[in-house]
Amino acid sequence: MSEKKLNIKLKIWRQSGPKAVGAFVSYNVSVSPDASFLEMLDELNDGLERKSEIPVTFESDCREGICGTCGLVINGEPHGPMRKIATCQLHMRNFKDGETIYVEPFRAKAFPVIKDLAVDRSAFDKIIQAGGFVSVNTGGVPDANSIPIQKEVSAEAFDSAACIGCGACVAACKNGSAMLFVSAKVSQFALLPQGQPERQKRVESMVAKMDELGFGSCSNTYACEAECPKGISVRNIARLNREYFSAKVKSKNVEV
CB 36 within 8 A of CB 69: no
Choose which of 80, 105, 165, 216 interacts with ligand SF4 (CB under 6 A).
165
Q: Of 103 and 232, which CB lies nearer to ligand SF4 in the complex structure?
A: 232
Q: Of 56 and 232, which CB lies nearer to ligand SF4 in the complex structure?
A: 232
Interface with ligand SF4: number of residues (CB under 6 A): 14
Should residue 157 be labelled a site residue for ligand SF4 when binding is judged by CB under 6 A? Answer: no
Among candidate residues 35, 32, 36, 54, the one with its CA nearest the CA of residue 45: 54
Q: Of 80 and 229, which CB lies nearer to ligand SF4 in the complex structure?
A: 229
Should residue 74 be labelled a site residue for ligand SF4 when binding is judged by CB under 6 A? Answer: no
Least separation in angstroms between residue 121's CB and ligand SF4 is: 9
Should residue 163 be labelled a site residue for ligand SF4 when binding is judged by CB under 6 A? Answer: yes
Should residue 167 be labelled a site residue for ligand SF4 when binding is judged by CB under 6 A? Answer: yes
Q: Of 88 and 168, which CB lies nearer to ligand SF4 in the complex structure?
A: 168
Should residue 202 be labelled a site residue for ligand SF4 when binding is judged by CB under 6 A? Answer: no
Choose which of 6, 173, 186, 228 interacts with ligand SF4 (CB under 6 A).
228
Among candidate residues 206, 196, 193, the one with its CA nearest the CA of residue 240: 206
Choose which of 229, 233, 240, 244 interacts with ligand SF4 (CB under 6 A).
229
For the chain, the three-class secondary structure string (H helix, E strand, C coil) is: CCCCCEEEEEEEEECCCCCCCCEEEEEEEEECCCCEHHHHHHHHHHHHHHCCCCCCCCCCCCCCCCCCCCCCEECCEECCCCCCCCHHHCEHHHCCCCCEEEEECCCECCECEEECCEECCHHHHHHHHCCCCCCCCCCCCCCCCCCCCCHHHHHHHHHHHCCCCCCHHHHHCCCCECHHHHHHHHHHHHCCHHHCCCHHHHHHHHHHHHHHCCCECCCCCCHHHHHCCCCCCCHHHHHHHHHHHHHHHHCCCCCC
Choose which of 29, 74, 130, 166 interacts with ligand SF4 (CB under 6 A).
166
Choose which of 6, 40, 184, 207 interacts with ligand SF4 (CB under 6 A).
184
Choose which of 44, 164, 186, 207 interacts with ligand SF4 (CB under 6 A).
164
Least separation in angstroms between residue 163's CB and ligand SF4 is: 3
Q: Of 114 and 128, which CB lies nearer to ligand SF4 in the complex structure?
A: 128
What residues line the site for ligand SF4 (CB under 6 A)? 163-169, 180-181, 184, 228-230, 232
